[in-house]
Every structure is written in C-alpha cells, then in structure tokens.
Structure 1
C-alpha cells in the first residue's frame, strides 16, 4: 500500500495529505474512495485472518490480530513435505533468499537415517548440522519432531537447534556401558562422543612357603593395573570396537609367585597394561630382618588423551627379628588393594594382598588381583 500518488486530484503535498489552509487560500487534500477502500480492506484482511468478525465499535481488533499472528508464527512454521533426510517446507510469506540468522520451524514427516538437508520454499537444499556442527546421525530427528533450525551463512548450513523426541540435544548422556568381561562395543544410535575409562587387571601376590621351628615366611602385595581416560569422537570409534578386559593375576601357591594382571583395551585406541605379581621368597630365620618387595604396577597406559598413568607397586612384606607384616596390594583409581594376609583386590585393577606366617605352619597361598574394566560413557 501507498499514498494515492497516481491520483492528481488527491492534492498531495510532498507525497502526503495536508489540511486546508483557509488563510492562505490553499485547498486540503482529498481521499479518493478507491484508496480509502483499499486501505480499509487491507486492515480488515488482517483482522479476518485470525477469525475475528469486523466490528466498528471495537478499536482493538487490528492489535488483537497482530498478536495472534505473532503467536501462531505462521511465517515461521510449516509442515515438512519432503522425505527422510531431505526435509522441505513451504512458508508464507514465501522465503526467496537465505539470510544469516534466519530462524524457522517445521514438523518432520520422517525420521532421519543419515546426514540430512533442509530446503524452504523450493530453495537449494542445504546441510542440516547439529549443535556440534557435525552432520546429523540417525534418529536425531524422528517422525513428528518439531524442529527449530537457524541458517548460518558462514557454514552455508542449517543448524538444528532443537528437535522434540529425537537425540538432537548436544552433550546429553545417552548411557554408560560397563565391560567387566571382554566383548564387542557397538555404539548406541545417536552417539557423538564417548568418555572411556580403562584399567588393567591387578597383579596377584605370592604365597608363603611352609615353615619349621624359628622360621617365618611372607610376601608383598600385587601391583595395580595402569589407568587411562580418553575422549573420543564417533568418527574415531567407528561402527564397533573389540573390548578386551584384563583378568586379575592369580594367587600364588605356597611355593610360587602370583600371576600378572592382564591388559585391558578398547580396540587399538586405548590400552592399559596389568599389574605385576609379587615375587616368591623362601622362609627367613627368626632373628633375620628381611624385605619381600611387592609387585610392580602396570606400565604406563597409552591412547588416553585425558590421563595415561602407570599402575602402583604393591607394598613390601617385612620381617624384623620374628615380627612379620604382609604387604598390602596396590590400589587403582577404580579399586582398593587387598590387605595383607591374602585378601584379594576389590573393585577393578587393584593388587592382591600378600601373606605372612609364623613358625611350624603349613604354607599358604597368596591372593588374586582384581580384574580390569572398560567403562564407556556415551554422549549425544
């Protein structure tokens, strides 16, 4: 709409209406019936579009209509008329160009099964990306999702800000997968990143040989498995990874050392070696002072981009003039070492406790180390 500039008899001055100037003898502007009806019809169309019946007595109808139209967002929401992974919607007024920051909503007709695009009003489809600015993964949009998208000129893509019912909330914890035994890790649909925590198996402790009169026997504790933490993207993890969980080292017999803890790993991405066993030592005379070392901790882990640590050494067994003390097993970040007198390691990756006996006793076995573990926190 505009002023009736094409009607010479309207008497516009500088393109606008003016009042009559009686003193100066200048006539006032005239409002042509066509122009007056046109303006009125435009306003009434707005009022009628929200279901209001025009009323001469109500001077608030235009304002009511504008508020309702703004709430309905008819220019910003439309139904999807495309296919899976190719979302399309027709808006009124028609969108003819894409501007940076343009925000739109649509109700999806289909779930996405892979990377997807969006095209309003028949424009060239542009990629849909997540809040992490990566291509959409399956099920981030489901059938019936109300989707909010914003166009980014820098990315030449639509950013999916929200999708009801889908997995589009970036950073959301999908779940925790704990592997206490070896197996295969297959990511949950919608996983974007994982936080992996891995510890190797703990070392076992040696046994204590049988003793005669005035003889003592003892052993140190097993070492703990090494530990790693890593933050990995879905691209690195891939479709699946073999999970290996290191066994805890076996308990040593009365005449042998304990077993070494096994290595835990997530494929070839992250690896945590197991702890060493404590060595076996023959008996000591009552008046002797001796030290039976504990097992060494596992070698430094690899692949962790947050933490890579070596395991801790088990405590030594000690004998001083007939007083003996068995060594405790080493603790890991996910488990407590076994106490002396052959207590096994608890939790994950801790060493078994050593053994100590006095004179004239049968030999005693040591303790087993705790098994390792692979824990995977999945995030959308």
Structure 2
C-alpha cells in the first residue's frame, strides 16, 4: 500500500495529505474512493487472517490480530522442500538476507544421516550445527519433525536449537550415575539420551616364587580392561537396563599367574571384557637375563558407537644380571595402573577403574610373594535431557 501518488487531482503535498487552509486559500487533499477502499480491505485482511469477524464498533481488532499472527509465527514457518542433509524452505514474505539472530522454523521432510545444511528462499546453503556448535550427527533430525534454527553471523551457520523427535545431543546434563557394583539402571524422568562409559576389570599381577641365594624373581604388570563409549537414546534403553560390573583380577599367589578381570556390561548393548593377568614363568640366576611379559589385553569391547578397544598390556618385568625391575600395571581411561615395586616393597594395586595391578620382584633369599590385584571395572551413565 502507498499514498495515491498516481492521481494528480488528489492534492498531495510532498507526497502526503494536507488539510484545507481557508486563510491562504489552499484546498485540502482529496481521498479517492479506490484508495480508501484498498486501505480498508488491506487492514480487514489482517483481521480476518487472525480469525476475527470485522466489527465497526471494535477498535482493537487490528492490534489483536497482529499479536495473534506474530505469536503463531506463520511468517517464520515453512515446509522443507530439500532432501536428507540438504534442508530448504520458502518463506512468505521471502527471506532475502541473513541477519544475526534470525529465527526460522521448518518441518523436515527427511531424517539427517550426517552433517547438514539449511537454506531459506534459495539463499546459499549454510552449515547446520548442534547447540554444541558441531556438525549434526545422524538422526538429530527425523522426518516430520518441527525444527527451530537461529542464524549466527559469527559462525556463518544455522544453529539447531530444537528438533521434535530428534536425537540431538544438545540437552542439559541431568545426572551422572556411576555403577561400581552390579545393579539396574533406571532412566531419570526427562532423559532423552545417555553417554555410557564401560570398562572391564583390570588384570592382576603374578606372584613370585621363593628365591635361593643365587636367584631373583620378577613378573610383569596386569593388563587394563577393555573400554567402550556409546551415545544412546531413550527408545533404545527402554524402562531399564541390567548393569554388570567386572570384578578386579585377583593377585597371583606365590609362583602363580594373576587373575583375569571380569567383564562389565550395560544391558546387552555395550560389553567390555576384563584385562588379562600377568604370568609367572621362572626364577632368574644372578648372571642371567630375562624379560617377563605383562598381562595381555582381553577381547575388544563391543557396542560402543563412539569407541571400542581392548585394554593395554601390562609392562614387562626385567632382570639383567642381577638388577631387577617389576612391570607396571596398565592404565585404563578411568584409572592408573599399579606401579612395579622394588625388592620387598608392598604390592601396588591398580587405582580408579579398570587398571592393571603392579608387578612384584624378589631379591635372593626371599620367600614367595603374592602379586597385586587389578582395579574393578565400572559403568558410568551421563543422562541428558
């Protein structure tokens, strides 16, 4: 709409209406019927689009209509016309330029299966990021979901602030549940996703045999337990999951191998076997040389969609013509391995979760000594809304 500038007889001054000036003898502007009707119709269209019936006696209808339409956000929502990972939508009125803080909504036509972009009204596609400002992961947008995005000029990207039904990793942290003993995980109300860390029990170190006046005894450290991380949604978890925490590998008796750590698991979804114990091999004469391996890792963990790996081998024990060093226990992502001890020193068990026990050593004329235990496994659940 505009002033009726195309009608010369209207009498506009500087493009606007003026009143009659009787003293100066100047006529007032005229309002053509066509223009008056078009202005009225335009205003009535706003009133009707908000669902109101026009009334001559109600002077608040236009204001209420504008508020209602603004709250409904009809000018900021459109259907996606793109493809998976390539979201596009046409808005009315059209978005011609991108401004910092611009908020738009669209109903996604397809689920995403990786990094994605968004483009309104044929503008250049820009990256679509999570609230963590990283590229989207699969299923953060699902087909038919309503998505709210905000344009960031600093990032030159769209930030996905909401996606109904999606598996976005952007919610707030609700609670951290650490299982150091077997039990049952029950989701906190409002949980949508969890980050699960699972580590098996660490292996124990072997015990050394009794030595004569010409012998030394030494063994390696225990292996750490296997480890996995997984990002899981509420639908996958259901109402509960059985949690199993692997026991620590036992300390080896004198002249016996260390025990293998137990398997930790989160339901049937994620499994992390325990680490192997170190072996006892033989005694070493003063002028003999020996390298005695530490415990071997267990089977590679399974079920982690972020990471799966077997534990780390324990350090070997070494004896070279008398000088002897016991092996260290292997560290896990959640614990430090036990240190190899000196002659006659105390056994050093693994600390934290899933680490291996430190090896032990004997000088000549010492009785047999037990090894050290590994650290037990654990299951840690980070819950996100």
The residue number in structure 2 matching 1:360 is 365
Contact 2:350 2:374 in 1 (8 A): yes
Q: Distance in 2 between matches of 1:266 and 1:157?
A: 30
- Secondary structure (helix, strand or coil) at the match of 1:236 reads helix
| Change beyond 3 A, Cα 1:169–1:193 | closer
The CA deviation string for residues 190-237 of structure 1, in whole angstroms up to 9 with x for no partner, is: 222111111111000011111121111111100111111111122212
| Change beyond 3 A, Cα 1:224–1:18 | same
The residue number in structure 2 matching 1:152 is 107
Q: Distance in 2 between matches of 1:346 and 1:327?
A: 16
Q: Distance in 1 between matches of 2:210 and 2:189?
A: 58
The residue number in structure 2 matching 1:370 is 375
Contact 2:169 2:193 in 1 (8 A): no
The residue number in structure 2 matching 1:234 is 234
The residue number in structure 1 matching 2:224 is 224
The residue number in structure 2 matching 1:285 is 285
The residue correspondences of 1:5-84 to structure 2 (distance < 5 A) are 18=10, 49=60, 73-76=67-70
Q: Distance in 2 between matches of 1:171 and 1:182?
A: 28
Contact 1:198 1:227 in 2 (8 A): yes
| Change beyond 3 A, Cα 1:189–1:45 | farther
Q: Distance in 1 between matches of 2:31 and 2:188?
A: 73
Contact 2:77 2:104 in 1 (8 A): no
The residue number in structure 1 matching 2:177 is 177
The residue number in structure 1 matching 2:77 is 101
Contact 1:99 1:151 in 2 (8 A): no
| Change beyond 3 A, Cα 1:326–1:169 | closer
| Change beyond 3 A, Cα 1:17–1:336 | same
Contact 2:206 2:278 in 1 (8 A): yes
**1:313: Cα distance to partner?**
0.7
Contact 2:246 2:274 in 1 (8 A): yes
Contact 1:242 1:266 in 2 (8 A): yes
The residue number in structure 1 matching 2:335 is 335
The residue number in structure 1 matching 2:214 is 214
Contact 1:100 1:152 in 2 (8 A): no
Contact 1:217 1:281 in 2 (8 A): no
**1:291: Cα distance to partner?**
2.1
**Count of residues in Structure 1 that have an aligned counterpart in Structure 2:** 276
The CA deviation string for residues 233-258 of structure 1, in whole angstroms up to 9 with x for no partner, is: 22212211111111110111113211
- Secondary structure (helix, strand or coil) at the match of 1:377 reads strand
Contact 1:212 1:359 in 2 (8 A): yes
- Secondary structure (helix, strand or coil) at the match of 2:318 reads strand
Q: Distance in 2 between matches of 1:169 and 1:232?
A: 10
Contact 1:200 1:298 in 2 (8 A): no
The residue number in structure 2 matching 1:262 is 262
Q: Distance in 1 between matches of 2:362 and 2:186?
A: 49
TM-score by length of 2: 0.61
TM-score by length of 1: 0.62
| Change beyond 3 A, Cα 1:99–1:183 | same
The residue number in structure 2 matching 1:133 is none
| Change beyond 3 A, Cα 1:247–1:46 | farther
Tell me how large the CA RMSD over aligned residues is.
Answer: 4.1
| Change beyond 3 A, Cα 1:296–1:18 | same
